[in-house]
Structure 1
Amino acid sequence: MGNTTQNQTVSGAKLFFKQIVKTQFDPEVLERPQREHLLPKVLSKQGVAVIITGTANLKHRTMLSLIYACGLRRSDVLGLKIEHVDSKRGLLLIHKGKGNKDRVVPISEKTITMLRNYFVAYKPVTWLFEGQKVGKPYSESSFDKVF
């Protein structure tokens, strides 16, 4: 039985004794195993290059490049507005990222060039990556379908 299943069983027993039997249950009687913390699988540089260069759509290629080059999450990329890009200083503002915190990340000159090419081709108005409707952000569901 896996660690998570064991922990759920202990929690269920505790709730059963508290709510149904109306007695306190000492969860220390049962050992709760520690959750496993697995390291994420990391792609090689070549693997990332194949994915990025294999993407024909400029918008999608630019999104992937930003994710890889700046270490962004899906929500970070979809939440980017035009004013969050400071190409002169080579910085990108991530507004209300994980933990509802703002952070600033550096952008390489190569990524800035790609962003400029994307901007010329797509002419976004508000959001850096807009959806089908002008002024609306690219949706999570569309992102998930593409990637």
Structure 2
Amino acid sequence: QLEQSYAGRLGHFVEPVVRPIGLDWRSGIAFMAGIAAKEVVVSTFGTIYSLGEVDPEETGSLRESMQKDPSWNPLKALAFLMFSLIYLPCFVAMAVFYRESGSKLKWTLFLIFWTTVLAWFVSFIVYQGGSLLGLGV
């Protein structure tokens, strides 16, 4: 079971942080995988949604799987996209930033902290604001 794997446990550990922006433990796993490379987020979701209920006769897409999932809606998807676009860059970009800043660890840590906090607040405003307007139903 995915939930009992290391990734699942880590996802459940970060779930209290992503829950206010409308997301769950699966999104937490995808965000952590995205630190390696942002494009990995989509394949991580593909893996998450295919584990457990794999039917060799069914060749549904990730899009179809997520549309069938009652925990997803367009507002949550928008909050997810906002967070994904803004939060810390991939490892390679952080390494380049570290080098270009004159190997200043404090600036690299500031980049990581600032972009993650900014991403969370933007996603929070999008999700909570949309929910108040009745867009998340």
* TM > 0.5: no
- TM-score (norm: length of structure 1): 0.25
Higher relative contact order (CA 8 A, sep 6+): 2
Structure showing greater Rg? 1
TM-score, normalization by structure 2: 0.27
Name the one with the larger strand percent. Answer: 1
Give the structure with the higher percent helix.
2
